[in-house]
Amino acid sequence: MNAILNLSEDHRDCLQEVTNVAMGQAGDRLARLLDTFVVLSIPHIQVMAPADVAMALQSVDSDQTVSGVCQGFIGGGIAGEAMLLFNDTSFEDLAKLMNYDSKLDSQAEIELLMDTTNILFGACLKGIAEQIDMEFSFGPPMVLGQHQPVSKMFKLDEVKWDHALVTEISYTLENYNVQCDLLLIMTEKSIDLLLKKIDYLLG
């Protein structure tokens, strides 16, 4: 496990490049749908224990409430979970961009969350899978919560792994008050296999 916990610079750089391409494709799909410019952060990739993930999530928006969706994925021995956290100020602008004319109640917010999640998760995970020559199948997306502190989105007592490869990237929409953070969490059993795939790419 020590070798996994200390990712080599080559592994990190390659993972970052693979993720950059995939998340860029996801951002491009969102930009085309909403007809606006999407700004992406550089992917932050690290092997973390559950408590570290909780701390990282709290640093995303420690003072604000968020709404979140998660979706499991699996394929070729690699399994994980994608998580999308939306700043609560995002919904009004998101509704405008998606031409959503109905009353912006709790159910409408869930629909907006799910629509955005489908675009970002689908494009991002497909992009990663294609680059490492795999196919992922997806579980149903689930709402983690609405208008809650980040600490309530990630329940430490429900985590079944000791370490995971965590990739975090932020998306913002230019000229709109829309911000979300996408996290990919790959379980420790998947890391070995993923690094073997990366070694093949590097070779």
Residues 149-178: tens digit of each pLDDT: 877 777 766 777 788 888 888 888 888 888
Q: What Cα–Cα distance (Å) separates residue 83 from each residue in 8, 41, 68, 119, 122?
A: 25, 16, 7, 13, 12
Closest CA to 24 of 127, 137, 138, 130: 127
- Per residue in 43-95, pLDDT (tens digit) is 888 888 887 877 777 665 556 788 889 999 999 889 999 988 888 777 888 88
Query: Cβ distance 40 to 24 under 8 Å?
Result: yes
Domain 2-202 fold: Chemotaxis protein chec (3.40.1550)
Q: Residue 1: pLDDT band by 50, 70, 90 thresholds?
A: very low
| pTM given for the model | 0.85
Which residues are CB-contacts of 11 (< 8 A; sequence separation ≥ 6)?
195, 198
**73/121 Cα distance (integer angstroms):** 10
Secondary structure of residue 90 in the 3-state scheme: helix
Backbone phi, psi, residue 28, to 5°: -65, -40
* Proportion of the chain above pLDDT 70, given as a percent: 91
Q: Residue 198: pLDDT band by 50, 70, 90 thresholds?
A: confident
Q: Which pLDDT score, from 0 to 100, does residue 82 have? A: 92
Mean pLDDT of 119-143: 89
